[in-house]
Amino acid sequence: MATTATTPMKPRPKMVERKAPELFQFSKQGQSITGVLLSVEPTEVKGKQAIEYLFAGENRERFTMLGTADLNKKIRPEDIGHLVEIRYERDDTSFQKPGQSAMKVFKVSVSEEREPGF
């Protein structure tokens, strides 16, 4: 009678639920957010083309943000891996058309060096 060696089963690793990143939206002047930029991707929102930014914030929790005219000029693909601080400064109504919202103006600061591990 032949016997076969059995290998002990490794214990199953602890599983952690993975959730989709939350969509962050600026609602009040003075609000700010900081995170490491992970990606810059085109997306479609309500039938219109937009840019979506994915960040890793504190404790590496992920959040996304849709681009605005101002943010799209200030955040660049080469900023991926850098710490980015964004502050909602004010609304610009200087070229606002009837029925449109005022343009949000942001202060964007980007670290000179890439963050370790990104």
Residue numbers of the domain that contains 45: 22-113
State the total domains in the chain.
1
What gap in Å lies between CA 43 and CA 94, rounded to an integer? 28
Express each pLDDT in 81-105 by its tens digit.
999 999 999 998 887 788 888 889 9
| Residue 35 counted as domain residue | yes
Residue 5 lies in a domain: no
In a domain, 87, yes or no: yes
Note the pTM of the prediction, 2 decimals.
0.81
Q: Is residue 4 part of a domain?
A: no
Terminal Cα distance for the chain, rounded: 56
Q: Is the model's pLDDT at 118 over the cut of 90? A: no
List the 22-23 sheet strands across, edge first.
Answer: 22-23, 62-66, 48-56, 32-45, 82-92, 103-114
Is 66 within the bounds of a domain? yes
What CATH number is associated with residue 67? 2.40.50
**Does 8 fall in a domain?**
no
Does the residue 3 lie in any domain? Answer: no
- Of 84, 28, 25, 79, residue with least CA distance to 56: 84
Residue 52 lies in a domain: yes
77 contacts 37 by C-beta, under 8 angstroms: no
